[in-house]
Amino acid sequence: MKTFDERNLLPEILPDDPMHQAKRWFDRTNSEKWQPNPNAMTLSTVDKNNAPSSRIVLCKYFVADPGYIVFFTNYNSRKGKEIRDNSEVSLVFHWDNIGRQLRIKGIAVYSPSSESDKYFASRNRGSQISAWGSNQSQPVESRSELIKQMNNKLDEFDSSGTSNEKEIPRPPHWGGIRVWAHEIELWMDGEDRVHDRARWTRKLEINQDNSFSTSKWIGTRLQP
C-alpha cells in the first residue's frame, strides 16, 4: 500500500528570516554551477493598465540583511518605465536541476549612485558602450541600423580619448534597481508532487534615502 514520505524538506519550525535560507540556496547554485545562469530570475511588472509583462534579468547582488535583490538596467526601458509607474514587482528564481524555487514580491527603487557607478565600472568596455548606444525597448529599422548606431557611439568615445574602459562614465539613464522583499516563498520539490512550501511576509516603510524600515517576518507553511 502506498504511503507518503513524512520527512520535512523545510524545517518543521520555520526560520524567522527566510532571506538567509534563500541566500544559501542562491550562493550554492552559483558556486556549484548546477545549471547555466543560476542568477537568472523572472522579473514581472505591470503597466498603467495593469497588464503584466515578464522578462529574464540577472541578479547581481543578493543582500539577505536587510533583504533586497539588485539587478541593473536601462531606466528608460519598458521595465524601467513600468517600475516608475508601479514599483510593486515580483521575482522568480527556478532551479530545476535541484528542485527548488524562490518567489519574491517587493518594492523596486533605484540603487544609490555609488552602487550603480561601481558595478558599471566593472563591466567590459563593449558593455559600457552598449549602455550608451542602445535606446532599449525602442523600435529600430534594422539590425544593421542598430550596429551603425553602436559604432557611432564607439567612434564618439574613441575620438574623445576614452581608450580605457574605466574612463567611460555611467549613463544617467542606466543603473541598479533594488527590490526590497515584503513577501517570499520557498518551494522544494517533493516526491509524488507532495512539495514543501512556505511563505513569509513583512511590512516595509520607506525612508528618505530610498531604504526601508522593516517589520519582522511572519511565516506560514502552505499546502502544495
Q: Is residue 8 part of a domain?
A: no
Q: Is residue 73 part of a domain?
A: yes
Question: Which has more confidence, 189 or 118?
Answer: 118
Read off the pLDDT of residues 144-189 as tens digits, 9 standing for 90 and up: 888 887 788 787 887 765 555 447 999 999 999 999 999 999 998 8
Q: Is residue 137 part of a domain?
A: no
The pTM of this model reads: 0.88
Contact 182, 107 (CB under 8 A): yes
Q: Is residue 142 part of a domain?
A: no
Read off the pLDDT of residues 75-111 as tens digits, 9 standing for 90 and up: 999 999 999 999 999 999 999 888 899 999 999 999 9
Virtual torsion, Cα 213, 114, 116, 36, nearest 10 deg: -80
- Could you tell me the CATH number of the domain that includes residue 99? 2.30.110.10
Q: Is residue 165 part of a domain?
A: no
Which cell goes with 101? 524555487
Query: Which structural domain, as residue segments, surrounds residue 34?
Result: 18-112+175-222
Q: Is residue 71 part of a domain?
A: yes
The CB density around residue 170, as the number of other CB atoms within 10 Å, is: 19
Measured CA distances, 203 to 11, 84, 114, 210 (Å): 24, 21, 27, 15
Domain total of the chain: 1
Read off the pLDDT of residues 16-75 as tens digits, 9 standing for 90 and up: 999 999 999 999 898 888 788 999 999 999 999 999 999 999 999 999 999 999 999 999
CA angle 22, 121, 159 (to 5 degrees): 150
15 three-class SS: coil
Q: Is residue 26 part of a domain?
A: yes
Confidence of residue 3 (pLDDT cuts 50, 70, 90): very low
Q: Is residue 87 part of a domain?
A: yes
